[in-house]
Structure 1
Amino acid sequence: MNELVPVAPAAPVSPLRQRLIDDMNMRHFSRETQRNYIRDVGRFATFLGRPPDTATGEDLRRFQIEQREGGMPVPTMNSIVAALRFFFTHTLDRPDLARRLVRMKQIRKLPVVLSRDEVARLLGATTCLKHQAALSVAYSAGLRVGEVSMLKVRDVDSERMLLRVERGKGGQYRNAMLPADLLTLLRHWWKLGCEQGVMHRDGWLFPGQHALKPISTKQIHRVVAEAAQAAGIAKRVSPHTLRHSFATHLLEDGVDIRVIQALLGHAKLENTAFYTKVATRTVRAVTSPLDKLGMFMPSEAAPPG
């Protein structure tokens, strides 16, 4: 009976929207970024009540004022600014309008970072080898959750001890580190995955429920949350926490900050330098000028503590 029910044709894509999509494809934007940009430009068009290519500087001003007065979170407002700036600069060739958009100042909170012991407990609390391997990649190579999800078997370069990240943020390509212990773990996962019939040389490194699709970022989030709970970790943990922990632990070990910047794929050094605020071992290693004065030497009679 289903084949007799007429299927409604898909709504045609407007030329303006197709042009935006083409511009994003040309710059290798990820599917998630494209989805967000289309949504945000559509949000502005809804506010405007007419095609967004007819907007004026005053329209943009009113739009941002309404967002702020409506209590929209600053990160969301800034994401919309990024989408509209791209749209007006590249799709419409109207950089004069893009300059009218104001990026809101955001107070950046210190990231949650796990201790090395907590990371070990988290990885040990996973329920299967695939999940343990995926979270180990996130921590040992400092990858974003989307980068872990989109890894393919061929991205593991055991000769050069590198992971090729081909679908990084903004469509950027980079090499990430492949520690020896991680390679051993991935080989165990490869062997088990082949026995289960879900691993293929041209396939995903971490297949989803269907072997032809990668594990979803939503599932990785769920795996991290469940493992943290099982490990008795009270901190609010996400896959990005493992990336934060990777950067912080490298910094505490004395790795040059520019090397960490390259490993993380940060465009700006200031984003990497932010981890100095949570590198507690680095702070503890510094001798205070007060201690060098020697004025308050502990008494021999003082109790230990």
Structure 2
Amino acid sequence: MDLPTAFAEHLFRDRRRSSHTVRAYRGAAERLVVFLRRHWGGPVDRATLAAVSQADLRAFLAARRGDGLGNASAARELSAVRSFLGFVAGGDAVPRLKGPRVKKGVPRPVSPDEAVALAEEVADAAREQWIGARDWAVLLLLYGAGLRIGEAMALTGGVLPLGETMAVTGKRAKTRIVPLLPQVREAIEGYVALCPYPVARDEPLFRGARGGPLSPALIRRAVQGARGRLGLGSRTTPHALRHSFATHLLGRGADLRQLQELLGHASLSSTQIYTAVDAAHLLDVYRNAHPRA
């Protein structure tokens, strides 16, 4: 059995990591092995991996950044490969290397790359597999469907079985229909399959560790810890994922009326704030890309 596969089995069987974390960490381990094979010009085995240096890791991260990897995902990649090297070394010291940091400045929407990295980091830090699957599902709902965190917490087992859309009750008891991406449906269904508590139609969908309703404060605290590890700014909150959902849709051509319905805003003026956010993003693109900017 090759080492990345053995590492993946260890994560799933011994550390009870969620399937999405296992896939992500296995992928990072495989990319490291392929890179080192080219970098060193020879075979990569347990003995050679034990000799990986800071310079080797730095070269690997530089190559991954050259592939277009953002800061948050680069930090996740570093965390994954260090975990892999620790597994291979059997507890011996692993080279330490500071992950990339995000520059402080004017707040900007969380990028798709950062949103996924944040959700993965939160899920990976959970102490039990089903809790990691739960947190992954919650954060994908905020980013992938634009829910407020309170709306996600208010969902009950009545939304099951999932279809292509979901009815969500928002402010002032107003109900709206939101589309569910396949990845979001898969995340929720994965959580339900692992949840140790029965999900009745009139009971909360998302449960705390002792079976009661999940508190939004727990999600906020988990996000706070994850953003620190990934080098994301203090404005990277659960609600920022909803803002990013709106901004990215607007940037892809959604009009304000469509966005108003998806977000559950009572007034169009509430939705118009996203035009300014998107303009700021476009200005960044212009400044970085225009030869005379």
- Does 1:206 pair with 2:206? yes
Indicate if the aligned counterparts of 1:114 and 1:242 stay in contact, CA closer than 8 A.
yes
Residue identity matched to 1:171: A
2:109 equivalent to 1:113 = yes
Q: Sort the Cα spacing of 1:187 and 1:221 in 2 relative to 1 into closer, same or farther, 3 A.
A: same
The percentage of counterpart residues that share the same residue type is 34
Runs of 4 or more, structure 1, over 6 Å off, are none
Q: What is the identity, as a one-letter code, of the residue corresponding to 1:169?
A: K
Provide closer, same or farther for how the CA distance between residues 175 and 138 of structure 1 changes in structure 2, counting only shifts above 3 A.
Answer: same
The residue aligned with 1:152 is 156
| RMSD (Å) for aligned C-alpha atoms | 2.7
SS of residue in 2 equivalent to 1:164: strand
- Residue 192 of structure 2 corresponds to residue 190 of structure 1: yes
Could you tell me the TM-score, scaled by structure 1's length?
Answer: 0.52
- Deviation readout 1:180-218 (Å, 9 max, x if unpaired): 11111111111111xx2354454322112342x321121
CA distance in 1, matches of 2:146, 2:107: 14
Q: Distance in 2 between matches of 1:178 and 1:140?
A: 7
**In the alignment, residue 168 of structure 2 is paired with which amino acid?**
V
Q: Deviations over 1:63-86 (max 9, x none)?
A: xxxxxxxxxxxxxxxxxxxxxxxx
Decide whether aligned partners of structure 1 residues 148 and 135 sit closer, same or farther in structure 2, where only a CA change above 3 A counts.
same
- Contact kept, 8 Å, 2:121 with 2:226, in 1: the verdict is yes
The residue correspondences of 1:220-259 to structure 2 (distance < 5 A) are 220-259=219-258
Whole-angstrom CA distance in 2 between matches of 1:121 and 1:221: 16
State the TM-score, normalized to the length of structure 2.
0.54
CA contact (8 A) 2:107 2:235 kept: no
Deviation, 1:156, is: 4.5
Does structure 2 conserve the Cα–Cα contact (< 8 Å) formed by 1:153 and 1:201?
Answer: yes
Residues 183 and 243 from structure 1, CA distance in 2 versus in 1: closer, same or farther, beyond 3 angstroms?
A: same
- 2:108–2:281 CA contact under 8 A, matched in 1: no
Q: Distance in 2 between matches of 1:236 and 1:146?
A: 18
Residue deviations 1:23-61 (CA, integer Å, cap 9, x gap): xxxxxxxxxxxxxxxxxxxxxxxxxxxxxxxxxxxxxxx
| Counterpart position of 2:217 | 218
Which one of 164, 167, 178 corresponds to residue 164 of structure 1? 167
Alignment match, 1:7: none
Instruction: Choose between structure 1 and 2: higher helix proportion.
Output: 2
1:252-291 matches, cutoff 5 A: 252-279=251-278, 280-283=280-283
Does the C-alpha gap of structure 1 residues 230 and 284 become closer, same or farther in structure 2, counting only changes over 3 Å? closer
- Point out where structure 2 has 5 or more consecutive residues left out of the alignment: 1-105, 126-131
Tell me if the contact between 1:156 and 1:164 (Cα under 8 Å) persists in the aligned partners. Answer: no
Offset of residue 285 of structure 1: 7.8
Aligned residue identity for 2:241: L
Report the Cα offset of residue 231 of structure 1: 2.2
The question of whether the paired residues in 2 share the 8 Å contact of 1:198 and 1:207 is answered with no
How far is 1:138 from its partner? 1.0
Deviation, 1:145, is 1.2
Residues 138 and 243 in structure 1, CA contact (< 8 A), matched pair in contact too: yes
1:133 aligns with 2:137: yes
Unmatched 5+ stretches in structure 1: 1-109, 292-296, 299-304
Q: Report SS of the residue matched to 1:174.
A: strand
